[in-house]
Structure 1
Amino acid sequence: MARSLQKTSALENSENVDAKLSFLPERLRKKLLPFQEKGIIFALQRSGRCMIADEMGLGKTIQAIAISYYYKNEWPLLIVVPSSLRYPWVDEMEKWIPELSPDDITIIQNKTDIGGISTSKVTILGYGLLTSDAQTLTDTLYRQNFKVVVIDESHYMKSRNATRSKILLPIVQKALRAVLLTGTPALGRPEELFMQIEALFPRRFGTWSEYAKKYCNARVRFFGKRTQWDCRGASNLEELHQLLSEIMIRRLKKDVLTQLPPKVRQRIPFDLPQAAAKDLNATFAEWEKLMRNLSSDATESHFSQVMSLITRMYKETAIAKAGAVKDYIKMMLANDKLKFLVFAHHLSMLQACTEAVIENKVRYIRIDGSVPSAERIHLVNQFQKDPETRVAILSIQAAGQGLTLSAASHVVFAELYWDPGHIKQAEDRAHRIGQCSSVNIHFLIAKGTMDTLMWAMLNRKAKVTGSTLNGKKEKMQAEEGDKEKWDFLSFAETWTPNESLEDPKNELLFTHFEKEKQHDIRAFFSPKSSTEKKRKRLSGNELLPNDLESEVMNEEDAEKRDENLDSTGISDVDTTRPESTCDHEAKRARSINGSTPISSSDRRKTSLSGRKASLFSERNNELHPCGSNTCSTSSASNNVWHCRVCTYTNSELLPYCEMCSNDKTKCEAPTSQTVSEGPRRNEERAECSAGGLGEMVTQKCAEISKQETVGVGNETSGEDVDKSDTLQIYDGLMFCASRNTDRIHLYTKDGEPLNHNFIPLDIQLDNWEDLPETFQHKKNRALILRFVREWTHLTAMKQKIVRKSGQIFCSPINAAEELSKKQSGVSSTKRYVTKEDVAAASLTKASSSGGSVRLISKPTGAGLKKQNAPVEQPTEWLWEPGRGAPVPPPGQAEARGYLQALDGQGQPLCLSCQRPTGPGGPAWDTRFCSHACQEDFSIRSSQSYLRTKVFEVEHGVCQCCRQNAQELYLSVRGAPRSQRKQMLESSWMSRLPLGQLNEMIRSPTEGQFWQVDHIQPVYSGGGQCSLENLQTLCTPCHRERTAKQAKERSQLKRKSLATKYGCDITKFFVKM
């Protein structure tokens, strides 16, 4: 490594910036700002070993991607990130380095997911997996010998005693190139820098003892009889800053982004009401008494008691000021143009903030530690793009770093945190590149609480970190707000958490009288108005409660009409929906102008689930009774023509079929015939199988060139023809969906990569910036648009299955059909795989192969603490043919674990597929041969895992009535108990039984609002299935479907009993 540090190429010594960065992809090169270019050159001049410590929001990720791309010949590349940032990093890698195929990047999902590390070019690892029990993963990382390493948010390595620091240290030291990224290298003191410096340049600043004595003012401290080295101080900071500047580059926003609006900090101090501070004052008095009585004989227990009291005061401060915080949020919500972030630490404060937003009936997002990583991206996009989502309630630790929330113009800190690093990280979620307005940051400081002490502590630590990193003393500059303006906070009501309340009173619950109250009998005889029969929809297909039952009936009718689609494996009604005439108007403009015009008002339309309205929306493709559409009129039907190949309805102005590119002249018919055949065509198209359409698209893939040329030639002007001569025209395209992002990678019809990718939603919104100018040619655009139309017609679950397969395809519909046929495995009437099933399969395998079996169980927490404990040796029972089943030794008969088979050589076999699991290791880590087998087994055996995977795809939206059950659950959970009854009463959940509704009020849980249902019922062979046979149903729809299935089962049972003792009389009338 020393030679590599001295070696400097001619490229790195060049003074020409453009020449230095000419190796980058063109799109990435154009995106870089001048200071980012300097950061890349800084790293190259140091042979790829440095720390980029730019302030948050200055684009450190894109600099790291550019640096690692320069050394791509030395890959494999390891990227270590916080677990919540794994998927954003994959998206950035695919976006800026399009030559990476989906198979080139792997995300390590768990501590035994090591199969893809040795074959992928880029491995992305979360800090959360680097624990003491991850021995299999750690050994694999060491063996891989990564030459290029990127450590994002490297301040996660601040502690010398943390397991993740000990695991990462040799990996970074051994790598030839290592780039550390962090906006806060030291969160509060110089000791937090040592492990990061030691990883980049071992012994550069001496040993830990030497570093601590010189820069951390290390000294011995006494706590009673307990002595310890205190390294939390700071000394020689100017010298430390000078030494750091040789290996670290740090730029501040005020220096490099002068056009970025400033941050304006403001303190809002207020007095707490006496009642709110009662518990807090009592704890303060107890703490003061304990500190006064501490003597020289204080023990470890005294120290723990002091820390426990400080933690309790911190939490009680949050509860005491929660009422004032609620009033402050409501005051800000009075301005309906304001978008803002609210940061807090304790769940009680997050709950209070959520209640304030719900009481004002404002749409919001909430991200805390319980929100999965993939769902956080969905919520961030909702806040950034949906104008109706005005508030983001965020945990300082879970959402304080790595996320971009620049749509907000205000940041409110409902609570403070222990160090300025986390505070600044949270502030800069809004104050970053892309922010167009000044960011106002408000700190709510309750007088006489922990807030006053913590604010002083934050300023002391800010001076230390400022001197170390920036070379000058700093503090948390925040002007004090106008006292008269915030006086109302001192009179806030005391807030009580829902968990502390007693059982709700009867007026807060539903009663039998309310559920069974009689309706006016005259309503039975009065005719219903025509308006009641119409389907009413809110934005994003959100149904009004009164129309839910009619919508369910329509969905059931649609399912009956599409039974033939289910038999081919494509069950989405959208694959056969007729186009509305309104859509043709938009298509006509797109076909003539070469782009899809979307008005500014259209861009602002969002659904309650955060989805944008577009030309391809489900609402425009909605199937109406009798094959008609609400947008269609008799006069409008004269302006369309029907393709005879695929029955697709096209605009009169299009000379070719937009779906299959068939020539219009081949489908011409008299006008009267076209009009009269319209309903019949729609009926035929409603019966067309998705599989047939997929095969047709595949067959037409090779004929696109000729037909597109004929169709486009009549519309293209002379200027466009001249321009098209310089653009490459593709006869056909193939596609591959990324496993981890929304991106689609492009290939030629021969399967050669084009090194381009795009997001289908961007194309729907007429955003083509991810694709080169070649795709401005109308023929190439038509290929992309056709794919997007087919892709959006697949359900979210089918899109997930296609992505998971990783295959290259021409038609997504056809690909989904083929995958459906492959996954239709052996049917089962058992819902889940049990341990007894695994044991029986293992015994059978051991019997047939002459092997043995053993009982494996997950190591306990106590076992993990024994660092020098030997590797677990599970008991094995040899199997001898002709003998009975093996009996576990006494004491292990009821052990928690699985019975695993071993082959004749003693190699463990996979619990799922019974194949060898590979090299040895801890017994529990040898359960599966691959991550795919582990995931398949977990889906078939674990209900909680199954719910998690379905939620990742469908986000808790009922697939029958399209209601967002998860959103209702979050609203009910976040609302005060006094408002829960009203929320449920006004929702479609009000049809549920009385006891279930009252339980939702008392203690709402996710499982009360939506279920994961088998599309093919378990009793008919749909058990132990893959994701394809699963769907989300809200509880009312699930109850209806369960009752319907129970009735069907009862009829089948009666019929089977009847045929058992007699003959069906109808057979007498059947002609043989």
Structure 2
Amino acid sequence: MWAVPAAMCVVTPEEESVARGAQRPSGARRTAPRSTPKRKHQDNSGLIPVLARAVREVEGAVKRERVVPSTRTKFQAIALLVREERARIKVDTTLNEARRGEELKRLDGIATILAVTAARDPRLLALIADEAVVSPEARELRREMLLDAGFEVPEEAEPEPEGPREPSAVEQRQVVPQAVISRQMANPFLEPDYDAVRRPPARPRRLAGWELIEPLLRSFEYGGEAACMTLPEPNGTRVPPGLELMPHQSRLVEAAAEGHRTFLLADEPGLGKTAQALLAAQAADAYPLLVVVPNVVKTNWAREAERWTPAHRATVVHGDGEDIDAFADIIVINYEILERHVGWLGSLELGVRGMVVDEAHFIKNKKSQRSQHVLHLSEQLRSRPWAPLLMALTGTPLINDIEDFTAIWQFLGWIDEEKPLGDLMEALEETGLVPSDRGFYAAARSAVIEQGIVRRRKIDVAADLPARRIADVFVELDDAAGRSIRDAERALARRLVNRYRKALEVRHGENVVEGIDHELVRQVAVWETTKTSEKKSEDNVFTMMRKLGSAKGGAAADYAAQLARNVGKVVFFAKHIDVMDAAEELFTQRGIRFASVRGDQSSTARQKNIDAFTNDPEVSIAVCSLTAAGVGLNLQVASNLVLAELSWTDAEQTQAIDRVHRIGQPEPVTAWRIIAAQTLDTRIAELIGSKAGLAARALDGSDEEVVADVQVEMLVALLTDALSSSAPVLA
């Protein structure tokens, strides 16, 4: 609606004295010499004296704790006029600079009293929030004050009825389920809880003018100690009968119970983040609780809510939400349909007090629709006069770049597009350092962590969890498919070498490097991954990986079938649909019952298949999509899994393994990676397993080298080998 004047954020003695004029408590003595008494301002005409009298009336009412509706109306009208008068004075060409500065200073004094008054009665803050509506009474009082100040105010004409406005494309897709309308009608006067209202954020002082977002990100790039905020000791969190929390889970719940309200919960997969989030919401009484999740785990979240917090009903939003329970405490919705429901989910009538974003790395691209909707909802919640519980859950907060942090931090309200906010800015100010100082980066990293980053590793907090290992199974591709793949690899190597040599030809003498120019090799590799091949018939690194998956898919399925016959239930992971189809065909031929978990299934069908694999002893294999089933699922009924195709990131591979290796797993876990011998598959497997991931350096304190782009590194190695070789491949 309208913004709070900047002066309402800070109160200084000088400003307060300007606003109060000569007003003193009864009996107070003058401190200035009698020979130079303070002159009363000679200009008592205009709007400012009217506002000054009115603001003192509001201040007096608040001090006497006699705030009635008319007081709130007057507060809103004054604040509105202060902003309007400030804007008018700034553009008034009849005023000289001295007079303009004097008038603005008087307005600052009035704004200061408004700020102090609002601090005494936080309910007044709702009247100056961005979404606050100016009441008809406040509009009328504003008009009367302008008349008292000598302004000519025309009668407000009745607004002419506007023709129907064509709704935007986004609005056309939005829906409001009938059940939600019923809930809103049942709660037409939702009273906010003002007990938890936060103080206005302080303006930056020493750090004003410094660029801070980039240094904050860089502070995590260099590593450091393990990234986990200071958490209280467990205090016996109560859980339903038959369930038990591990100490690391209880500590986070206790932090929420003690009042902490923002968390980036980045525990390694398998350490029970879902239970921690649900119990933290219960400890913070953050209901209604909105949970935004990938589609594949939507139903699972509702089940976990029933399991861990049975006193709070959960509802799952499907499609247009026609069958939801609008009176439930927990609303679970997936990213894909959030656009349709963002309107009513963010409404003041619903009054959401907590928001959990699962697999929060899904919002790393702030330009995507799902990220924008999540950030919009977070901003709405944070603008309310209560402190919402905001939790971002992800075992892999960083995939390719340290900038992946920014959207998550923005969701949590730690930063905006330009600067740190609120408590984070205060913490940075308290360090006494600026980005050019030695020690700033370590102090800044610590300040961000204490805002709510919680990262624990299995090796540190789950010592009783059984071991896991990754075993590579090499298969020989001696058939036509294998020969085709090796021919494609040689063609790719020749293409890279030709590009490298052409680039060398245009270089000048002083830039020529003896031997292999490794910088140029990397440039050629990057070009290959970012540019489309000149000929569509040419294989690139992505099509070759697909061919590799298809070629070794039969061997991978055969290996999974043998495991199922010998060790019991097995999870089979693949990236491509044709590999999954071929595996399921082989299992059918051999009479092996299986369950299929794919991205194109409805959540109901997917959950039915997961339940069949978990509960039916006759269902031996779960055939899972690496991308669709690699997050959020609990498949610990098995202790063996087969990775039929390699992922491009260690994080994706780890996510898949951790569907099985998690709290409650009684058996050692083995992940069998099927690798095509004497192909690029071997090189990719080495790259994935050789270096620590980005999250390990940024969050776990690892000092190992980071390989952020396996595709590029694989092409670098391929081209380097080709240039070093005299094999006929280069002929």
TM-score normalised to structure 2 length: 0.53
Answering whether residue 355 of structure 2 is matched by residue 124 of structure 1, we say no
User: Given the alignment, which residue of 18, 22, 25 partners 2:235?
Assistant: 18
Which residue is equivalent to 1:197? 409
Which residue is equivalent to 1:113? 321
Which residue is equivalent to 2:646? 416
TM-fit CA distance, 1:154 = 1.0
Which residue is equivalent to 2:492? 287
> Can you list the C-alpha shifts for 1:984-1037, whole angstroms capped at 9, x where unaligned?
xxxxxxxxxxxxxxxxxxxxxxxxxxxxxxxxxxxxxxxxxxxxxxxxxxxxxx
> Can you list the C-alpha shifts for 1:870-897, whole angstroms capped at 9, x where unaligned?
xxxxxxxxxxxxxxxxxxxxxxxxxxxx
> Can you list the C-alpha shifts for 1:890-946, whole angstroms capped at 9, x where unaligned?
xxxxxxxxxxxxxxxxxxxxxxxxxxxxxxxxxxxxxxxxxxxxxxxxxxxxxxxxx
User: Given the alignment, which residue of 648, 655, 663 partners 1:433?
Assistant: 663
- d(CA) in 1 for partners of 2:683, 2:529: 24
Which residue is equivalent to 2:473? 268
Answering whether residue 385 of structure 2 is matched by residue 172 of structure 1, we say no
Answering whether residue 313 of structure 2 is matched by residue 83 of structure 1, we say no
Q: How does 1:685-700 map to 2 (within 5 A)?
A: none
> Can you list the C-alpha shifts for 1:686-709, whole angstroms capped at 9, x where unaligned?
xxxxxxxxxxxxxxxxxxxxxxxx
Answering whether residue 697 of structure 2 is matched by residue 467 of structure 1, we say yes
- SS for the counterpart of 1:123 is strand
Contact 2:485 2:547 in 1 (8 A): yes
Instruction: Give the 3 Å change call, closer, same or farther, for CA 138–260 of structure 1 in structure 2.
Output: same
- d(CA) in 2 for partners of 1:340, 1:90: 26
- d(CA) in 2 for partners of 1:90, 1:373: 12
Which residue is equivalent to 1:305? 533
- SS for the counterpart of 2:346 is helix
Amino acid at match of 1:63: Q
Amino acid at match of 1:66: L
Which residue is equivalent to 1:394? 624
- d(CA) in 2 for partners of 1:167, 1:5: 25
Contact 2:636 2:660 in 1 (8 A): yes
- d(CA) in 2 for partners of 1:301, 1:423: 21
- SS for the counterpart of 1:100 is coil
Amino acid at match of 2:330: V
Which residue is equivalent to 1:31? 244
Instruction: Give the 3 Å change call, closer, same or farther, for CA 56–170 of structure 1 in structure 2.
Output: same
**Greater length-normalized contact order (CA 8 Å, ≥ 6 residues apart):** 2
Contact 2:312 2:328 in 1 (8 A): no
Contact 1:341 1:411 in 2 (8 A): yes
TM-fit CA distance, 1:275 = 2.4
Which runs of 5 or more residues in structure 1 are unaligned? 7-12, 209-235, 477-1072
Instruction: Give the 3 Å change call, closer, same or farther, for CA 300–140 of structure 1 in structure 2.
Output: farther
- SS for the counterpart of 1:150 is strand
TM-fit CA distance, 1:117 = 8.5
> Can you list the C-alpha shifts for 1:661-685, whole angstroms capped at 9, x where unaligned?
xxxxxxxxxxxxxxxxxxxxxxxxx
Amino acid at match of 1:260: L
User: Given the alignment, which residue of 60, 64, 67 partners 2:273?
Assistant: 60
TM-fit CA distance, 1:285 = 3.8
Contact 2:475 2:675 in 1 (8 A): yes
- d(CA) in 2 for partners of 1:148, 1:50: 12
TM-fit CA distance, 1:395 = 0.8
- d(CA) in 2 for partners of 1:301, 1:37: 45
Contact 1:146 1:171 in 2 (8 A): no
Contact 2:259 2:284 in 1 (8 A): no
Q: How does 1:924-939 map to 2 (within 5 A)?
A: none
- d(CA) in 2 for partners of 1:265, 1:289: 33
User: Given the alignment, which residue of 159, 182, 196 partners 2:365?
Assistant: 159
TM-fit CA distance, 1:475 = 9.3
- d(CA) in 2 for partners of 1:152, 1:292: 44
Answering whether residue 588 of structure 2 is matched by residue 358 of structure 1, we say yes
Q: How does 1:188-227 map to 2 (within 5 A)?
A: 188-203=400-415
- d(CA) in 2 for partners of 1:124, 1:3: 27
Instruction: Give the 3 Å change call, closer, same or farther, for CA 27–361 of structure 1 in structure 2.
Output: same
Which residue is equivalent to 2:55? none
- d(CA) in 2 for partners of 1:5, 1:313: 56
Contact 1:241 1:471 in 2 (8 A): no
What is the identity percentage for the equivalent residue pairs of Structure 1 and Structure 2? 27
Which residue is equivalent to 1:248? 453
- d(CA) in 1 for partners of 2:317, 2:260: 28
- d(CA) in 2 for partners of 1:341, 1:185: 25
Contact 1:54 1:251 in 2 (8 A): yes
Amino acid at match of 1:305: S
Amino acid at match of 2:343: D
Which residue is equivalent to 1:314? 545
> Can you list the C-alpha shifts for 1:1035-1070, whole angstroms capped at 9, x where unaligned?
xxxxxxxxxxxxxxxxxxxxxxxxxxxxxxxxxxxx
Higher alpha-carbon deviation: 183-192 or 299-308: 299-308
Contact 2:593 2:619 in 1 (8 A): yes
Which residue is equivalent to 1:50? 263
- SS for the counterpart of 1:278 is helix
Amino acid at match of 1:180: A
TM-fit CA distance, 1:141 = 3.0
Which runs of 5 or more residues in structure 2 are unaligned? 1-195, 202-229, 382-387, 421-439, 507-523, 707-731
Which residue is equivalent to 1:143? 347
Answering whether residue 462 of structure 2 is matched by residue 257 of structure 1, we say yes
Instruction: Give the 3 Å change call, closer, same or farther, for CA 305–16 of structure 1 in structure 2.
Output: closer
TM-fit CA distance, 1:344 = 0.7
TM-fit CA distance, 1:116 = 5.8
TM-fit CA distance, 1:360 = 2.7
> Can you list the C-alpha shifts for 1:819-869, whole angstroms capped at 9, x where unaligned?
xxxxxxxxxxxxxxxxxxxxxxxxxxxxxxxxxxxxxxxxxxxxxxxxxxx
Contact 1:54 1:252 in 2 (8 A): yes
- d(CA) in 1 for partners of 2:629, 2:553: 20
User: Given the alignment, which residue of 467, 472, 482 partners 1:277?
Assistant: 482
- d(CA) in 2 for partners of 1:274, 1:26: 57
- SS for the counterpart of 1:462 is coil
- SS for the counterpart of 1:68 is helix
TM-fit CA distance, 1:114 = 7.8
User: Given the alignment, which residue of 558, 574, 582 partners 1:344?
Assistant: 574
TM-fit CA distance, 1:65 = 0.9
Contact 2:472 2:675 in 1 (8 A): yes
Instruction: Give the 3 Å change call, closer, same or farther, for CA 121–409 of structure 1 in structure 2.
Output: closer
Which residue is equivalent to 2:198? 3
> Can you list the C-alpha shifts for 1:802-825, whole angstroms capped at 9, x where unaligned?
xxxxxxxxxxxxxxxxxxxxxxxx
Instruction: Give the 3 Å change call, closer, same or farther, for CA 402–137 of structure 1 in structure 2.
Output: same
- d(CA) in 2 for partners of 1:303, 1:2: 52
Contact 1:188 1:462 in 2 (8 A): no
- SS for the counterpart of 1:80 is strand
Which residue is equivalent to 2:688? 458
Contact 1:114 1:140 in 2 (8 A): no
- d(CA) in 1 for partners of 2:630, 2:678: 27
- d(CA) in 1 for partners of 2:688, 2:231: 44
Instruction: Give the 3 Å change call, closer, same or farther, for CA 196–14 of structure 1 in structure 2.
Output: closer
Contact 2:231 2:255 in 1 (8 A): no
Aligned residues: 431
User: Given the alignment, which residue of 371, 378, 384 partners 2:614?
Assistant: 384
- SS for the counterpart of 1:399 is coil
